[in-house]
A and B are shown apart, each in its own frame.
Chain A
Amino acid sequence: GQQLNQSPQSMFIQEGEDVSMNCTSSSIFNTWLWYKQDPGEGPVLLIALYKAGELTSNGRLTAQFGITRKDSFLNISASIPSDVGIYFCAGQGGYAGGTSYGKLTFGQGTILTVHP
């Protein structure tokens, strides 16, 4: 099946630093998404990308959908302690509004630790 390689697996940073993580795939995806999982909770959607080359921001978060449709990255600027958690990339092969039923392929996750 489709696989996503997400890196790095973990990051330990100081508060205020910027963070960058990325996801690559051997398959093409038509939608890329980034989710965050707080400790003891389920993942929550941060950013969704629907077009190759699209660059989208959500506050201190910026994500891009790679031109090849096989990769995506997420940047977090000026990290704060509440950024702690696991970040997952996810790819969807179907088009928005299509019939893929939201079946997502998830990356392995990046564990982010922020030291005050």
Chain B
Amino acid sequence: NAGVTQTPKFQVLKTGQSMTLQCAQDMNHNSMYWYRQDPGMGLRLIYYSASEGTTDKGEVPNGYNVSRLNKREFSLRLESAAPSQTSVYFCASSEGVLRNTGELFFGEGSRLTVL
């Protein structure tokens, strides 16, 4: 039972390079999210997708784009990486609007370093 799977788990980029973080969930959840975790800052929402076909900005969307490819997959793209984007990125999913208990299911995280 995989749950939420993120790739890659580790990545080192140079300033200005681009990359895409992939996320897939096998729980048939409607909603998916991307968070970043920085020391002393907790988890901050970058973008979310309430349902297939919709995406919305979260708290810290600048420098990122997302694609909800289908119900299972939600990718996060950095077009021109900056050192300030060095962080651990977490993808999460939830059942969505009809059963919004607040429970998010997280992936294991992707550690990104931008030099």
The complex places the Cα of A48 from the Cα of B104 at a distance, in Å, of 11
Q: How far is the CB of A45 from chain B (nearest CB, A)?
A: 5
Interface segment, one of A11-19, A56-64, A105-113:
A105-113
User: B31, B98, B99, B102 — which one has the most chain A CB atoms within 10 A of its CB?
Assistant: B102
Contact of A109 among B42, B90, B99, B106 (CB under 8 A): B42
Q: How far is the CB of A30 from chain B (nearest CB, A)?
A: 9
**Contacts A1-B59, A31-B101, A101-B100 supplied; 20 other A-B pairs, CB < 8 Å:** A33-B103, A41-B109, A42-B4, A42-B107, A48-B102, A88-B43, A96-B101, A98-B100, A99-B100, A101-B31, A101-B94, A101-B96, A102-B31, A102-B33, A102-B100, A103-B33, A107-B42, A108-B40, A108-B41, A109-B42
Instruction: Give chain B's interface residues, CB within 8 Å of chain A.
Output: 4, 31, 33, 35, 40-45, 48, 50, 58-59, 90, 92, 94, 96-104, 106-109
| 24 A-B contact pairs sorted by A residue (CB < 8 Å) | A1-B59, A9-B40, A33-B103, A40-B108, A42-B4, A42-B107, A42-B108, A43-B90, A45-B103, A48-B103, A94-B100, A99-B97, A99-B100, A100-B100, A101-B31, A102-B31, A102-B33, A102-B100, A102-B102, A103-B33, A103-B48, A108-B40, A108-B42, A109-B42
